[in-house]
Amino acid sequence: MFDQAQTELATLRDLLRFAVSRFNEAQLFFGHGSDNAWDEAAYLLLHTLHLPLDRLEPFLDARLTSAERAGLLRIIERRIGERLPVAYLTNEAWLGEYRFYVDQRVIVPRSFIAELLREQLAPWIDDPEAVGAVLDLCTGSACLAIIAAHAFPAARIDAVDVSPDALVVARRNVEDYDLATRIRLVEGDLFAGLKQRRYDLIIANPPYVKASSMATLPDEYRREPELALASGEDGLDLTRAILAGARKHLKANGLLVVEIGHNREELEAAFPTTPFTWLDTSAGDQYVFLLHRDELP
């Protein structure tokens, strides 16, 4: 079929239709930036052709060179054959207007905390200029640390990850945004390498996939580092450790903000007296909690 496509498909419109058909036929999973075959195919083809990602229509009927057609067919075939998330094929991922370099050393950035940071965590933080120290736990690609640096312009940020490979990717992104003087990358297990440092704000998007869910993940998720996904039998191992250690690393009026996926019910059952505040995000109020320092268990 791909050999036939090389000789019979002529325009970008042809290749886009072909990609959507093949993606749907292969029953790919879409969960890393798009949720359907059309959006993912359009992004992948535009990126590969070095065209503006927001301007598909003017190029649909442009004829492709044989080299361009071959390149598009190769990347379509890789998406199907290797079940790689599209971000690993393009080496980029977006959170809102922020672009990040990614590869298989980090999970593909996706976090509801990002949209909360773009609002400077209002109304929970009254004066963004007064935030002087931020800690980003499980930083991965450093995406949240970078967005936090823009949200809180006076803040110095420590971005921590246990994976040295992830920190190589994080360093590239920090340098791309010219933030090396404000973001310090720390290799370590949560708070272990921070000594007595205290912060106005701690954010974390830790691993939170429970064991039963890990066993049934789509292939695309299995291409991501397991270290960045799995968090014990109930998905809360890392969250428990964060709750246990956060108090001594927060300033008197400090805030803790943590994303926990679909584990709200399990978390509230495990900490029945802790007054979690659940923050509204585009997907609802089930996924990110906030605690003041004096509310921590």
Q: Within this chain, do residues 236 and 264 fall inside the same structural domain, yes or no?
A: yes
How high does pLDDT run on average in the chain?
A: 93
Q: Which domain holds residue 21?
A: 2-90
Q: How far, CA to CA in Å, does 284 sit from each of 46, 86, 259?
A: 31, 26, 12
Domain end among 90, 119, 146: 90
Q: Within this chain, do residues 6 and 40 fall inside the same structural domain, yes or no?
A: yes
Distance (Å, whole) CA 114 – CA 204: 11
Measured at the CA of 118, the angle between CA 115 and CA 121, to 5 degrees, comes to 85
Domain end among 55, 90, 125: 90
pLDDT classification of 214: cutoffs 50, 70, 90: confident
Q: Within this chain, do residues 71 and 189 fall inside the same structural domain, yes or no?
A: no
Q: Within this chain, do residues 57 and 131 fall inside the same structural domain, yes or no?
A: no
> Is the pLDDT at 88 greater than 70, yes or no?
yes
Q: Within this chain, do residues 111 and 226 fall inside the same structural domain, yes or no?
A: yes
> Is the pLDDT at 3 greater than 70, yes or no?
no
Token pair for residue 55?
């301007």
pLDDT tens digits along 121-133: 999 999 999 999 9
CATH number for 79: 1.10.8
Q: How far, CA to CA in Å, does 134 sit from each of 85, 158, 255?
A: 30, 6, 10
Q: Within this chain, do residues 198 and 289 fall inside the same structural domain, yes or no?
A: yes
pLDDT tens digits along 104-119: 999 999 899 999 999 9
Tokens 């492709």, residue? Answer: 64
Q: Within this chain, do residues 131 and 257 fall inside the same structural domain, yes or no?
A: yes
Return the C-alpha torsion angle 230, 231, 234, 237, nearest 10: 180
Starting at the edge strand found earlier in the chain, the sheet holding 277-278 runs 183-187, 156-161, 133-137, 199-204, 250-259, 288-292, 277-278
| Domain count of the fold of the chain | 2
Q: Within this chain, do residues 54 and 107 fall inside the same structural domain, yes or no?
A: no
Q: Within this chain, do residues 149 and 288 fall inside the same structural domain, yes or no?
A: yes
Q: Within this chain, do residues 86 and 103 fall inside the same structural domain, yes or no?
A: no
Q: Percent of the chain at pLDDT above 90?
A: 77
Distance (Å, whole) CA 25 – CA 69: 20
Q: Within this chain, do residues 45 and 165 fall inside the same structural domain, yes or no?
A: no
CATH number for 158: 3.40.50.150
Domain end among 29, 57, 90: 90
Q: What is the 3-state secondary structure (H, E, C) of the chain?
A: CHHHHHHHCCEHHHHHHHHHHHHHHHCCCCCCCCCCHHHHHHHHHHHHCCCCCCCCHHHCCCECCHHHHHHHHHHHHHHHHCCCCHHHHHCCEEECCEEECCCCCCCCCCCHHHHHHHCCCCCCCCCHHHCCEEEEECCCCCHHHHHHHHHCCCCEEEEEECCHHHHHHHHHHHHHCCCCCCEEEEECCCCCCCCCCCEEEEEECCCCECHHHHCCCCHHHHCCCHHHCECCCCCCHHHHHHHHHCHHHEEEEEEEEEECCCCHHHHHHHCCCCCCEECCECCECCCEEEEEHHHCC
Are 128 and 120 contacting, i.e. CB atoms less than 8 angstroms apart?
yes
Q: Within this chain, do residues 204 and 227 fall inside the same structural domain, yes or no?
A: yes
Are 108 and 239 contacting, i.e. CB atoms less than 8 angstroms apart?
no
pLDDT at 251: 96
* 116 vs 6, higher pLDDT: 116
pLDDT at 82: 95
Token pair for residue 93?
């991922």
